[in-house]
Amino acid sequence: MIDRYSREEMAKIWDLNSKFDYYLQVELAVCDAYAELGTIPKDAAKQIREKASFTVERIDEIEREVRHDVIAFLTCVNESLGDLGRFVHVGMTSSDVIDTAFALQIQDSGKIIKADLTKTIQILKNLAKAHKDTVCIGRSHGIHAEIMTFGAKMCSWIDILSRQKDNFEHALEQIRVGQISGPVGTYSNIPPEVEQLTCKHLNLKPAKISTQIIARDYHAYFMQSLALIASVLEQFATEIRHLQRTEVLELEEGFGKGQKGSSAMPHKKNPVLSENLCGLARVVRANSIVALENIPLWHERDISHSSAERIIFPDSLTLVDFMLNRFNGLMENIVVHKDNMLKNTNKFGGIVFSQKALLELVEKGLSREDSYKIVQRNALDAFQNHGDFKANLLNDSEVTKLLSKEEIEAIFDKNAFLHNIETIYKRFEL
């Protein structure tokens, strides 16, 4: 991933030095397992752990000759071990190292994403608490529907993201799987007990079966969880973009001192952070498709998945980490224009109170069909002629013969929409 969309902690997990360090962690854990079983001297395992080392430069030099990254890694490590090198990588295949190390990288990356998600949800909870009573308009099809609160909108976002956090944690646990099973996974030259002990040392679960590689449906499932997180962040960002439009202006991204919005138009303050999130979400979703395509491999293994995974996993994990942190900063500095939210609820003399008017007429004994026609006529007139819905009702004889002025005025009470907001908040323990 490019530096622009990378955070140091995540990027470090996926750099070359870290990759080979994870390889080494696996090889050392296998040596410890052999020593525990009495296959190699415990002192030898201890010395291997103390002496084993590598440099990326030397690995690269060797790989240019042997054209195999794991062999190059092992050759480099063995140069630091001398005769002790005969105890390293015994009975193993390259995939034992690669897939188990890959699992460790994913687990360490997952810890960062989990922390990010926890922070995001807390920020949204803070906004929900602060704006429990901030009246705004709810929209369906992009059109004014009925009144709600901005806090209730935040509760919806909390619910969505909490669910994705649960999904991610499940996927992360599912992929906490290692293998030390040798060629085609039959333990032909390595006892299953080595796998058990190695995985225990590395805090992984042994795969029930591996076919020289760990099945790629694990990885596809995990990538789908990342794609879902990215997609819901795009959902939130799209909402912010819509609400920041000049003619709406209910929300606004924070605008720093000295910040400029346009190279040509000095008045512009653009929702650039939200737009950025939408673009990055497309990359993560696309990567998840690649992960699905990695599932069908030839027979017990091929390496068609390998080249793709070198790109999509570091990139997707790095992007989701970046996106969550960008979104966190965005929401911590979001500008909520309460006055504009309230003003928009009153568009066209409060046509969003149409259902309240409809139900009031029905309550007076008018049929629902006739009530609908009367209310719709008055509402559409207000909308099409930039008029006033309340005034229309007050001047409509079919309405006034059933409803008093006071009863009509009472229809336009915003609190009538909000009496169950407390019920929603109790569900979130807010």
Burial class of 379 by CB neighbour count within 10 A (0 to 12, 13 to 18, 19+): buried
Residues in Cβ contact with 212 at an 8 Å cutoff, skipping those fewer than 6 apart: 93, 95, 181, 182, 183, 184, 185, 300, 301
Tokens of 69: 């990254």
Mark whether 188 is an active-site residue: no
Mark whether 201 is an active-site residue: no
- What DSSP letter does each residue of 133-149 carry, written as one string? T-EEEEEETTEEEEEEE
Q: How far apart are CA 358 and CA 306, in angstroms?
A: 62
Tokens of 378: 């008055």
For residue 143, list its beta bridge partners.
Answer: 140
Residue pair 203/178 in contact by the 8 Å Cβ criterion: no
Residue pair 370/279 in contact by the 8 Å Cβ criterion: no
At 145, phi and psi to the nearest 5? -110, -85
Q: How far apart are CA 361 and CA 83, in angstroms?
A: 94
Q: Nearest to residue 23, comparing CAs of 122, 113, 99?
A: 99
Catalytic residue among 53, 188, 262, 304: 262
Catalytic residue among 140, 141, 263, 386: 141
Q: How far apart are CA 105 and CA 372, in angstroms?
A: 61
Burial class of 319 by CB neighbour count within 10 A (0 to 12, 13 to 18, 19+): buried
Q: How far apart are CA 186 and CA 180, in angstroms?
A: 10
Which residues carry out catalysis?
Answer: 141, 262
